[in-house]
Amino acid sequence: MEAWWIGLAWLSLLAWAVLPPLWWWGMRRVPWLGPDDADDATAPAGAPAPGRADGPVVALVVAARDEAGTPGAAAALVAAARSWRSLDLRRLEIVVVDDRSSDATGDLLRGALAGDPRARLLRVDRLPEGWLGKVHAQDMGVRATRAPWVVLTDADVRLHPRAVSVALRAAERWGADHVALLPRFLAGGWLLRAFVVGFALLLTVLVRPWEAPDPRSPRTLGVGAFGLYRRGALERAGGLEAVRARPDDDLALAQTVKAAGGRSWVTFAPDLVEVDWYPSLRAALRGLEKNAFSGVGYRPGLLALAVIGLLATHVAPFALALVGPEAARLPAWGVVGIVLGVYAVHGRWARHSGWLGLAHPLTVTLLVVALLRSAGRALVTGHVDWRGRRYPLAWLRASARADAARDRKAARENAAANDSAAARRARHHRQARPRL
C-alpha cells in the first residue's frame, strides 16, 4: 500500500510539472481589457462619457427572476441596474426581462430604470414547453430588439460605464463575433473566495480560453456575466433557441456560435465587470447543482473518471505531504509548491491572494461534492430542479447530445468551407502569378 501512495505522489507531481507551464503559456495569451481601452479615455471614471454617437446600436439584455429574496440581493439588483444606466453608449438599448418573478424584482427594476429612455422592462408570465427559464427570457429580450450587437448579462452584474464600449471596440478591432469578459468575482469570507477562485482555475484548465480565437479549435468560454455577440453570428448559430435546454447556457451558446463559424475572444476584464457570485458557500454549492452534471455530459462514466482524477491529483498530494509515507512527502510537497505558484500567477490576473491556494484541496473536495450531489439527485429523481421548476433528465440529456452532434457537424462544414476558400485563393494566386 505504501508503494501505491508513493507512486501516486510522483504521478501527481509529474502531472503538475507538465500542465501548469502549458496553462501559463496559454493564459498569458488571453488579452486584458480595461477602461482606458474605450474610445474616449479622457472621460472621468464613474461618470457617463459622451459615447459614440455614430457607432452601432448595442442591446444590453438581462434576464431576472426572484432577485429580491433578501435585502442584500435586492440591493445588488438595484446597484446593477444603476450601473447599466451609467453605460456611456448613446446608441444603447437596455432590455430587462422579468422572468415570472413572484417577489419585488419587477418593482425594484422599474424604479431603478425609471427615467432612462433607453430602458425597457418586459415580463414573462408563462414558460413554453421545451425551454429553460433563463434562456427563454434571454431569447425574448433578444427578439425584442434589432440591434446589430447584443450583450447578455445577469441581473446582479455591475458594469463599468465603459464596459460595453470597450468590448465593442475590441470586437471591431479583432473582427470578432463573440467577446467574453472575465469579471472580478466578489465573495465574502476567505473560504468562499478560495472556492470561487478554485472553480475558475479548474474551468480555465478544462476549456482553455486562450484557444478561443483559433478557428481550428472548438474551444471557447462563455461567461454569464458578460457576453457580447454580433447578431448575424448569433442568428446563424440558431440564436438562444439552439441552447434552450442547456443549464450551462452561457458556455453552450459561445461554443455553438463558434462552431457555426463565428470568431470568439475571451479577455480578462476585472476592472470592467464585477459580480457577487453567491452570498454563501452553501448557496454556491446549491447553485452548481443545476449544471455540474451537465459539465460531464450527463455521463456517469465520465463523472467517475473526473471524480477519481480530481481527488487523486488535487486532494491526495496535500494529505500525503502531511501524513504520507516518508518517500511520498517530497513529491507531494512539490505539488503543494506548484499549486501555490499557480494561484499566485492567477492572482495577478484575477486580483486575488495567492495564499488562497492553501485551501485548494478543500475547494476541490467541495467541487466534487457538488458534482456528486448534482449527478446523484438527477439520477435518483430523474429530473433537475431549478428556481421552482422541474426539468426531466432524459430531455436534458437528449438535448445535450443533439446539440453536441449539431455543433460537430457545423464545425466540420465550416472547416470544409474554409479549406475550400483557402484552396480557391491558392489556385487564384498560382494562376495570377506572372510567368518568367
Q: Where are the domains of the chain?
A: 2-22+287-394, 28-42+56-279
pLDDT in tens, 144-196: 999 999 999 999 999 999 999 999 999 999 999 999 999 998 888 889 999 99
Give one DSSP letter per residue of 32-43, joined into a string: B--GGGSS-TTS
CATH value of 28-42+56-279 in 3.40.50.2300, 3.40.120.10, 3.40.190.10, 3.90.550.10: 3.90.550.10
> How does residue 43 score in pLDDT terms, banded at 50, 70 and 90?
very low
- Per-residue pLDDT of 310-368, as tens digits, reads 999 999 999 999 999 999 999 999 999 999 999 999 988 888 889 999 999 999 999 99
Which class for 210: exposed (0-12), middle (13-18), buried (19 or more C-beta within 10 A)? buried
- 196-221: per-residue pLDDT in tens? 999 999 999 989 999 999 999 999 99
Report the distance separating Cα 256 and Cα 411, nearest Å: 9
Question: What sign does the CA torsion over 150, 205, 280, 135 have?
Answer: positive
- pLDDT the model gives residue 50: 40
Report how far residue 343's alpha carbon sits from residue 356's, in angstroms, rounded to the nearest whole number. 7
Angle 314-318-324 (CA atoms, 0-180°, nearest 5)? Answer: 125
